[in-house]
């Protein structure tokens, strides 16, 4: 007999070899019905697994995130089974659950069409209707190999050889068998609400020299309402896609002639970037930072000393020869900021030193992962490094955290998720320093009064870190801010300051990026606002529309007055277009304000104000409109 400890503090005595499902049934029929998987001593387990030693047991029911992952993992097997029924010659790759759904990779000579996805969905519904029992089997590696050979699953055989141990798990439902760790639902009939969403190419093992597979994406939920809402968000995300809006609003472009992953900022996009950079710069000066500018290339010796050639070489571009010396495009700004610090001796009286730069860096990304502005090869990093005495580090971290929250809120990001990542298995530095640094991060987060989640072992090899994710208007999470300790570079570059005792001391160093890459941040902003930027960021804040050709002079006069007041304005006087057409065009371009001017407005010195949201606010003095815009810009309001 063994003892099973439950979350309520109670214990149950059961025979060794009892399945988790049997324990759930003994506790009660409701729990037996709702249980999806379980945590045994903190490890996620399948309900069909047996208990052989004393343990703690927490049953996971349909409301938990782990249950949704199990549902989606089961749906991938149903999809793979359907594909095998319709295309018997297909070979199976991998099929995991992912953040918003699942995918499965297939090797097939023909290309899946939209009609094929519909056929696969229909076959999946047949499999669900068959309510096939899902069986978990533990077999020897040799037996698993024999089964996969008989079935001609070459890709699965490769995976099998990569798995350590001599016991494998297989999952079987009807005629379908897959090599899988699980866990899974009990039968195919438990999967009811799903949708296949797209198909894309994917390299086997993410290796561009390997076989190109076809990846079918989908999603599933426990309720029809959740699925419907998810699909609605997908459609909304398509409408807000920054690549689509970037073309429509003439914000940026990428040209094959120049190279993929290299963004060209058009005048309107550049104007928004200018406003972001101006705000960023002003706020950094107010917060006690000093701005620097550093080169785009550096000698190989510098990158060898920093460790980038050892740890980051695959993301760096090939070196260039300059008078017999190797130079590299910079992937990061840190070594250059250290050079600024080391340009002369430093006293403790000067610390902390906060060096900030909007520095353009270059990192190699495979063409298959490039994605608009969200994944590029050349980008400008919102970068800064703080160098201070060890005893000042906690105060500095708290300041950075509060500063980050302030900056993010100015762009409309008020829903934040904060994560504290601790020491990984492989690290540099003294464990005592790691502990002190981690506690400094923890105290700083708690001092700011924000909730946070600890991610054990997920710090960088050179120090613990804080990450901040923001939630956009569609409820999606984006990782933006990162605040990272570094025990590595101060040692590698022999950084020092003269302390009160007149002796040299090693400073602490913190890397921090608050907005991340400007290109990526801009892409996120486009989708967050759906292209309808707040007044302070809008490339054109107001457009003056004359009712008749006779009003063109007055429209131009109004525009000039707005420009003189610092408002970004245009006057449209194309009489080949009707006023209604121009109003509609201004709305399509998402210009915040339309100022209609006719005979009455000219006589009274007013403008008739319309919003891009189609609200008509009627006539008002021009001075009143200017004051309103100035207030909206100051407060960072949307409209």
Q: Is 77 labeled as catalytic in the residue annotation?
A: no
**Given 465, 590, 610, 612, which residue is catalytic?**
465
Give the integer Cα–Cα distance in Å for 571 and 65.
Answer: 53
Decide the pairing of beta strands 593-597 and 569-571: unpaired
The reply to whether 383 belongs to the active site is yes
The answer to whether 423 is a known catalytic residue is no
CB-neighbour burial class of residue 564 (10 A; exposed 0-12, middle 13-18, buried 19+): exposed
Distance CA 476, CA 580 (A): 36
Q: How far apart are the C-alpha atoms of 394 and 205, rounded to whole Å?
A: 42
Report the b/e string of 88-114 with b at 16+ CB within 10 A: eebbbbbbebeeebbbbbbbeeeebee
Residue 516: both structure tokens together? 């991340």
Query: In Å, what is the CA distance from 151 to each residue of 87, 141, 148, 182, 506?
Result: 14, 15, 5, 20, 62
Residue of 173, 190, 214, 381 marked active site: 381
- Judged by DSSP in three states, 373 sits in coil
**Options 186, 330, 363, 632, the catalytic residue:** 363
Could you say which of 334, 486, 559, 610 is catalytic?
334
- Structural contact between residues 553 and 580, judged by C-beta atoms closer than 8 angstroms: no
Catalytic residue among 105, 116, 382, 383: 383
Query: What is d(CA 605, CA 554) in angstroms, rounded to the nearest whole number?
Result: 9
> For residue 512, what are the β-bridge partners?
384, 483
Q: Quick check: is 278 catalytic? A: no
37 is an active site residue: no
Examine the residue annotation and report whether 381 is marked as an active-site residue of this protein: yes
Q: What is the DSSP string of 94-124?
A: ---EETTEEEEEEE-SSPP-HHHHHHHHHHH
Q: Using an 8 Å Cβ cutoff, are 499 and 603 in contact? A: no
Distances from the Cα of 446 to the Cαs of 42, 49, 222, 416, 515, in angstroms? 26, 40, 36, 14, 22
Q: Determine which one of 84, 91, 215, 511 is catalytic.
A: 511
| Rounded Cα–Cα distance for residues 474 and 457 (Å) | 31
Query: Is-catalytic flag, 511?
Result: yes
Q: Which of 91, 385, 442, 602 is catalytic?
A: 385
**CB-based contacts of 532, cutoff 8 Å, min separation 6:** 590, 592, 612, 638
Residues acting as catalytic residues: 334, 363, 381, 383, 385, 465, 511
């Amino acid at each position: 007999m063994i003892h099973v400890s439950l979350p309520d503090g109670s214990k149950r005595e059961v025979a060794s070899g009892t399945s988790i499902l049997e324990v759930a049934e003994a506790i009660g029929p409701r729990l037996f019905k709702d249980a999806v998987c379980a945590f045994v001593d903190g490890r996620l387990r399948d309900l069909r697994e047996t208990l052989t030693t004393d343990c703690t047991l927490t049953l996971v029911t349909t409301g938990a995130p782990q249950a949704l992952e199990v549902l989606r993992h089961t749906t991938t097997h149903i999809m793979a089974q359907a594909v095998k029924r319709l295309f018997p010659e297909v070979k199976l790759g991998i099929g995991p659950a992912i953040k918003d759904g699942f995918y499965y990779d297939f090797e097939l000579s023909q290309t899946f069409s939209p009609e094929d996805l519909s056929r696969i969905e229909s076959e999946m519904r047949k499999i669900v209707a068959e309510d096939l029992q899902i069986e978990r089997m533990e077999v020897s590696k040799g037996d698993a190999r024999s089964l996969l050979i008989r079935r001609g699953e070459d890709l699965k055989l490769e995976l099998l050889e990569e798995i350590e141990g001599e016991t494998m798990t297989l999952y079987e439902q009807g005629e379908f068998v897959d090599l899988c760790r699980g866990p899974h639902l009990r039968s195919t009939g438990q999967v009811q609400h799903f949708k296949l969403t797209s198909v894309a190419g994917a390299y086997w093992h993410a290796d561009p020299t390997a076989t190109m597979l076809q990846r079918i994406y989908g999603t599933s939920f426990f309720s029809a309402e959740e699925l419907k809402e998810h699909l609605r968000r997908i459609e909304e995300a398509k409408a807000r896609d920054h690549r689509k809006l970037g073309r429509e609003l003439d914000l940026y472009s990428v040209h094959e002639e120049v190279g993929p992953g290299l963004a060209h900022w058009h005048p309107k996009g550049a104007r928004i970037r200018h406003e972001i950079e101006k705000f960023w710069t002003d706020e950094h000066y107010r917060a006690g930072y000093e701005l620097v500018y550093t080169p785009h290339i550096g000698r190989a010796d510098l990158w060898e000393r920093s460790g980038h050639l050892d740890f980051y070489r695959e993301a760096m571009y090939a070196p260039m020869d300059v008078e017999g010396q190797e130079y590299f495009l910079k992937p990061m700004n840190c070594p250059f900021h250290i050079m600024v610090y080391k340009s002369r001796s430093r006293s403790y009286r000067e610390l902390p030193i906060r060096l900030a730069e909007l520095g353009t860096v270059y990192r190699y990304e495979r063409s298959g992962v490039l994605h608009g502005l969200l994944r590029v090869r050349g980008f400008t990093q919102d970068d800064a490094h703080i160098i201070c005495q060890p005893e000042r580090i906690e105060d500095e971290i708290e300041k950075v955290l509060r500063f980050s929250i302030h900056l993010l809120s100015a762009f409309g990001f008020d829903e934040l998720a904060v994560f504290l990542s601790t020491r990984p298995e492989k690290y540099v530095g003294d464990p005592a320093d790691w502990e002190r640094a981690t506690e400094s991060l923890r105290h700083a987060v708690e001092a700011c009064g924000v909730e946070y989640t600890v991610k054990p072992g997920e710090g960088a090899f050179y120090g613990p870190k804080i990450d901040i994710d923001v939630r956009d208007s569609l409820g999606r999470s984006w990782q933006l801010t990162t605040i990272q300790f570094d025990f590595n570079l101060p040692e590698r570059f022999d950084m020092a300051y003269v302390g009160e005792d007149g002796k040299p001391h090693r400073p602490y160093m913190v890397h921090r990026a608050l907005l991340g890459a400007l290109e990526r941040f801009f892409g996120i902003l486009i989708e967050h606002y759906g292209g309808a930027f707040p007044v302070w960021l809008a490339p054109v804040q107001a457009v003056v529309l004359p009712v008749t050709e006779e009003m063109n002079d007055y429209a131009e006069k109004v525009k000039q007055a707005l420009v003189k007041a610092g408002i970004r304005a245009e006057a449209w006087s194309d009489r080949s277009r009707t006023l209604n057409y121009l109003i509609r065009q201004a709305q399509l371009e998402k210009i915040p304000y339309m100022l209609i001017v006719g005979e009455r407005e000219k006589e009274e010195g007013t403008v008739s104000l319309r919003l891009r949201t189609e609200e008509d606010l009627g006539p008002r003095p021009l001075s009143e409109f200017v004051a309103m815009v100035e207030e909206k810009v100051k407060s960072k309001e949307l409209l």
